[in-house]
Every structure is written in structure tokens, then in C-alpha cells.
Amino acid sequence: MGERPYVIDQMISAKAIAARIEELCDDIRNEFADTEKLVVVGLLRGSFVFIADLVRELDMSVEVDFIEASSYGDAMESSREVRILKDLRGAIEGRDVLVVEDIVDTGHTLHHVINLLKSREPAKLRSIALLDKPTRREVDFRADWIGFEIPDEFVVGYGIDFAQRNRNLPYIGKVRFTNDA
């Protein structure tokens, strides 16, 4: 498959993301005020930048773990079949857990992961997503906290990739193909 040329138009600036993370962390601290140590679970790979900024801003005791689930591969469309590629290292039974996702699109991945983690009987289980595309939802699921609601656009940056590229952009950008007829 030949690569189609594209450009990236900035949608959400690094400054706007940082400001929103501060607001979200206030809510998270309030929700988990009585928690001895919060288990923050990042969904790899797209959430790694978001989770790093989130835990640095939280100023509370946290333990970080990761789970890798896939429903995209290198495609632009979800396959709707969620596979767990890497599971948590630690137990979460009886613990307070925050699941961190980069983007909720169809909802299949986060819904699957939340149900999997619920079965492990955490004391409290909440979720946060940097981006939400509600017009694409196929599963009745909404994260407890959303950074930004966005239209149905293919986006990259701030950890989110297109075929393993553009994760390192400090902002969220919309992919626009330059040779579309």
C-alpha cells in the first residue's frame, strides 16, 4: 500500500491541553480524595503522553500500570474486535483505579477494558479520555471525564498516531490528505 500524502492542521494547542489537564486533575483529586494510592492505568500506546502529564499534575500518591488493547492496527477504522496485547502487572482488587484513554471513538476498546477491569473487583473504577468523538459511538459508553469533544476527524499528536507516526506532536492535529479527489 503506497502512502498517501497528508498535512496536519492543528485542532487543539499544547497550551489548551495543559490547561484542560489542570482542570481535570482538580476533579480527579476530589473524586479520589480518600484514596491511599490511586492506580492509574494507561491504555497503550496512545495514552502515554496524556498519562505522563496527568500523573505529574495529580500531586497525590499514584501507581502507574499499563494495559495494551488493540482494535485499529495501522488502519484508520476500528476493527471492532478488541484484543488485549499486554495486561496489567499488578492486582487491582479492592483498589481505586483510574483508566486513562487517548480517544473514545466507537467505544468498543474502553468499554471492553472497563468490563475486564470491573471483573477484577476494584473498590472504585473511573475512566478519563483526552478526546471523545460521540458521533462515532457504537457502544453505550462514556468516560467519566473527557478532555475535549471533537468532530469525526482523524487526529494525531500528543501520543496519538497514524501508522506509528506523529505521536510526538505537542498538539492534537487533524489529518488532511492532500491528493483526495
pLDDT digits (tens, 9 = 90+) for 18-37: 999 999 999 999 999 999 99
Residue with more model confidence, 135 or 78: 135
DSSP β-ladder status, 38-44 and 62-70: parallel
State the pLDDT at residue 13.
Answer: 98
Distance CA 33, CA 59 (A): 11
User: Omega of the bond prior to 80 within 30 degrees of 0, cis?
Assistant: no
Tell me the three cell numbers of residue 164.
506509528
Task: Name the domain count of the chain.
Answer: 1
Lookup result for grid cell 488502519 = 75
Residue 151 belongs to domain spanning: 6-177
Local confidence band at 83 (pLDDT 50, 70, 90 cut-offs):
confident
Average pLDDT over residues 50-67: 96
Question: Does residue 1 lie in a domain region?
Answer: no
Question: Does residue 22 lie in a domain region?
Answer: yes
State the pLDDT at residue 37.
Answer: 95
State the pLDDT at residue 38.
Answer: 98
Question: DSSP H helical segments within the chain, as ranges?
Answer: 14-31, 48-58, 108-118
Annotated catalytic residue 102: no
Question: Does residue 29 lie in a domain region?
Answer: yes
Q: Domain containing 52 — which CATH number?
A: 3.40.50.2020
Question: Does residue 166 lie in a domain region?
Answer: yes
Distance CA 106, CA 145 (A): 17
Residue with more model confidence, 167 or 70: 167
From the centroid of its chain, how far is CA 55? 14
Distance CA 109, CA 43 (A): 9
Local confidence band at 163 (pLDDT 50, 70, 90 cut-offs):
confident
Distance CA 165, CA 74 (A): 10
Phi, then psi, of 158 in degrees rounded to 5: 50, 40
Catalytic residue among 53, 96, 102, 105: 105
Distance CA 12, CA 10 (A): 6
pTM: 0.90
Tell me the three cell numbers of residue 172.
492534537
Distance CA 58, CA 76 (A): 32
Question: Does residue 46 lie in a domain region?
Answer: yes
From the centroid of its chain, how far is CA 78? 15
Tens-digit pLDDT profile for residues 91-110: 999 999 999 999 999 999 89
Question: How confident is the prediction for the chain on average, in pLDDT?
Answer: 91
State the pLDDT at residue 1.
Answer: 40
Average pLDDT over residues 75-94: 80
